[in-house]
Amino acid sequence: MIEVKELTKSYGPTLAVNQVSFDAHAGEVVGFIGPNGAGKTTTMRILTCYLTADAGSATVAGYDVLEHAIDVRKNVGYLPESAPLYLDMGVVEYLKFMAEVREIPKSQRKERLRTVVEICGLEGVIQKDIGELSKGFRQRVGLAQSLIHDPPILILDEPTSGLDPSQTIEIRNLIKEIGKEKLVLFSTHILPEVAATCTRILIINRGELVANGTLEELIGQVRSEDKVHVAIRGAEEAITTKLKELDSIVGFTHVKTDDGVVNYEITVAREGKNVTEALFNAAVQNGWGLAELRQESVDLEHIFLHFTSGQNGNISPSSELTTEVDSTEEE
Ligand SMILES: Nc1ncnc2c1ncn2[C@@H]1O[C@H](COP(=O)(O)OP(=O)(O)OP(=O)(O)O)[C@@H](O)[C@H]1O
Ligand SMILES: [Mg+2]
């Protein structure tokens, strides 16, 4: 539904988008993330025909963005970063106007209007002018206009920015629901939102697409190991010996001992066996008190920093290890 090939765009000397390529299909919710100024808005503006690329190509719903802008716009609902709303227009007046611009048949306009007002929670403000609305409600009106023609593709530039928590959840659920049949491409700085909503994640940094995959795939690319934190009340020497015997443990660090409780950071092979269970059993068998047992997995924040910090690999747990488990000792 969206096919982007080596898209490039500069503003004077600023290379905003640099040879970006990806595609996306119906049934996907694609999260577009990256630091401020990375090129998200520029890419979205090109895909919605508000901006022309310098090089490369893009088709949306099968139409080339350069040659068939009108067809592209018919198939796309777009929420711009700062919605160009007409401040002296009434909410209903504006949505009616957008329905007309979108060429919705007259007979269907009332029903579409009613639907988007309900979806975006605008019932309480339909009598007001847009200029009187708070930021979050203006954002809702922007969302309503992007949905009014029931397009198969939605491109939303920070759709939940400025929304209150309950509306954020509603919009998030809406995006998920829409994404079951349609294609949603949206940008955000709220990473848990991406983890909760997206079937795929695109990360852009300094104009370049640096990652493209499911959350699981990106986790795998960032590191092949997980961390387990364990705090055990018992004899340190015996515990250390036991840790060296356990399968799947790549290495561990003795962090500190508090009141007879020994704390370890353990590095575990991601594909390895269930280490937390093995640790629990070892504690039971040896009569140790298990004060804490917690698995720390890579989250999207780690992934984001990994791909955008410019010094990939700075979160590798191996660098913190003091005890490497020697595989020959395991037998
Ligand atoms: N109209 C413009 N004129 C000149 N430079 C621009 C213009 N719009 C964007 N840029 C530059 O292009 C680069 C990409 O900007 P863009 O708005 O696409 O980033 P973004 O990823 O959407 O960032 P944010 O998360 O802050 O919204 C930045 O360096 C920005 O300063
Ligand atoms: Mg932006």
Domain spans of the chain, in order of start: 2-213, 223-330
- Nearest atom, ligand 1, residue 45 CA: 18
pLDDT score, position 273: 72
List the pLDDT tens digit at each of the 331 positions of the chain.
999 999 999 999 999 999 999 999 999 999 999 999 999 999 999 999 999 999 999 999 999 999 999 999 999 999 998 867 788 999 999 999 999 999 999 999 999 999 999 988 899 999 999 999 988 888 889 989 999 999 999 999 999 988 889 888 888 888 888 888 899 999 999 998 999 999 999 999 999 999 999 998 998 888 777 788 999 998 888 889 988 888 888 889 988 888 889 999 998 887 767 888 888 999 999 999 999 998 877 788 889 999 998 643 333 333 333 454 544 443 3
Q: Output the CA 297–ligand 2 centroid distance in Å.
A: 29
- Nearest atom, ligand 1, residue 17 CA: 14
Residue position matching structure tokens 């340190």:
236
- Nearest atom, ligand 1, residue 158 CA: 27
Q: Output the CA 204–ligand 2 centroid distance in Å.
A: 11
Instruction: For residue 290, give the nearest of 216, 229, 219 by alpha carbon.
Output: 229
Q: What order do you get walking across the sheet with 289-296 strand by strand?
A: 289-296, 225-233, 261-269, 249-258, 323-324
Tokens of 224: 């092949």
Which of 11, 78, 208, 304 to probe ligand 1 with, by most ligand atoms within 8 A of CB? Answer: 11
User: What stretches of the chain adopt beta strand conformation (E)?
Assistant: 2-11, 14-24, 29-33, 55-60, 63-64, 76-79, 153-157, 183-187, 200-205, 208-213, 225-233, 249-258, 261-269, 289-296, 323-324
Which of 7, 8, 10, 14 to probe ligand 1 with, by most ligand atoms within 8 A of CB? Answer: 14
Q: Output the CA 13–ligand 2 centroid distance in Å.
A: 19
Quote the pTM value.
0.81
| Residue whose CA lies nearest to ligand 1 atom number 11 | 16
Ligand 1 residue neighbourhood (C-beta within 6 Å): 11, 14, 16, 34, 36-42, 81
Ligand at shortest distance from the CA of 204: 1
Judge contact between 79 and 146, C-beta under 8 A.
yes
pLDDT score, position 295: 82
CATH class of 223-330: alpha beta
| Residue whose CA lies nearest to ligand 1 atom number 27 | 36
Q: Output the CA 38–ligand 1 centroid distance in Å.
A: 7
Domain covering 2-213 in this structure, CATH number: 3.40.50.300
CA dist 282 and 153 (Å) reads 53
pLDDT score, position 96: 95
Judge contact between 142 and 86, C-beta under 8 A.
no
What size, in residues, is the chain? 331
Ligand at shortest distance from the CA of 189: 1
Ligand at shortest distance from the CA of 15: 1
CA dist 281 and 277 (Å) reads 6
Q: Output the CA 40–ligand 2 centroid distance in Å.
A: 5
Task: Give φ, ψ of 35 to 5 degrees.
Answer: -65, 170
C-alpha separations of 72 from 80, 117, 194 in Å: 15, 24, 26
